A = this chain, B = another copy of it.
């Protein structure tokens, strides 16, 4: 099992730079005043496909040999990873086979199809997803790109924090949300290499607290029946992700739904940018007093901006 290192993030960055947006870093005087911190928000909601996921997918697709690439890539995902993989594959001119539960939101199905992904629908269970994917791979020979438990993907996700530190200098603290751990593990690789002394704290919805429990127990607990508005953070930690997290992440804290929604609304109202609920979890942790930022130069990864505008929580 290949555990990526910071050198892999550097290589990923060189590989994907022609394809990804170097997203801006925004600040808000009024949110600084509310929190007492000096906050910098890395706007991955402005990334292609509207989420950081494009970085990792792009690195995976462009890391394949010509021969591997020709057979295409495949994944099962109901979310941003599927759209990201479809677009990255289209950029390389190879097929992307996406297994999606038939219950996935219409907006996500449309996004994947719009990027040229070849969709196979399945029942909305993990078993059905894995079996359907195995069938697709048996037929096509496509390379499976796991949404987060994949060294290329982790290295790609780490490029967001790398850019953030390159653009704003070292940080006292970096906060990221955690679901499967792809963004978090990549962020930790970059933070610890480029900003020594920087603490990395992961933030997780209380209603999906498997990473919190896993971190504090030192072994992976699967995510079971998670209930949270932060629909990008429902998954269990991956093996590679967990290894990096135990090595490099300083703490994981949990956040209430109420504060996630409050944080999301605060960003929308004060910063005039659209972020999805998963992106609001770090600021929610600050508002809830779970992450102390007073006087600290703090970097926050806004993971994405994809959500159904017809179903807002406010």
Q: Which residues of A contact B (CB under 8 A)?
A: 24, 45-46, 50, 265, 268-269, 272-275, 305, 309-310, 312, 314
A213 to chain B, nearest CB (A): 32
Q: Which residues of B contact A273 (CB under 8 A)?
A: 272-274
Complex partner residue of A24 from B24, B274, B305, CB under 8 angstroms: B24
Once the chains bind, are A309 and B274 in contact (CB under 8 Å)?
no
With the chains together, A68 CA to B314 CA distance in Å? 44
7 smallest beta-carbon distances between A and B, as pairs = A272-B305, A272-B274, A45-B272, A273-B273, A309-B314, A268-B274, A46-B272
With the chains together, A265 CA to B265 CA distance in Å? 17
A199 to chain B, nearest CB (A): 29
Once the chains bind, are A269 and B309 in contact (CB under 8 Å)?
yes
A50 to B, closest residue via Cβ? B272
Q: Which residues of B contact A275 (CB under 8 A)?
A: 272
With the chains together, A305 CA to B265 CA distance in Å? 14
With the chains together, A24 CA to B24 CA distance in Å? 10
Q: Which residues of B contact A45 (CB under 8 A)?
A: 272
A275 to B, closest residue via Cβ? B272
Q: Which residues of B contact A50 (CB under 8 A)?
A: 272
A191 to chain B, nearest CB (A): 25
Q: Which residues of B contact A310 (CB under 8 A)?
A: 314
With the chains together, A310 CA to B275 CA distance in Å? 16
Q: Which residues of B contact A274 (CB under 8 A)?
A: 268, 272-274
Once the chains bind, are B312 and A309 in contact (CB under 8 Å)?
yes
With the chains together, A24 CA to B312 CA distance in Å? 27
With the chains together, A305 CA to B268 CA distance in Å? 9
Q: Which residues of B contact A312 (CB under 8 A)?
A: 309, 312
Q: Which residues of B contact A309 (CB under 8 A)?
A: 265, 268-269, 312, 314
A265 to chain B, nearest CB (A): 6
| A272, A305, A312, A314 pick with most chain B CB within 10 angstroms | A272
With the chains together, A275 CA to B274 CA distance in Å? 10
With the chains together, A305 CA to B314 CA distance in Å? 17
With the chains together, A265 CA to B268 CA distance in Å? 15
A307 to B, closest residue via Cβ? B269
A selection of 14 A-B contacts at a CB cut-off of 8 Å is A24-B24, A45-B272, A46-B272, A50-B272, A265-B309, A268-B274, A268-B309, A272-B273, A272-B274, A272-B275, A273-B273, A309-B312, A309-B314, A310-B314
A276 to chain B, nearest CB (A): 9
With the chains together, A272 CA to B312 CA distance in Å? 14
A112 to chain B, nearest CB (A): 15
A159 to chain B, nearest CB (A): 19
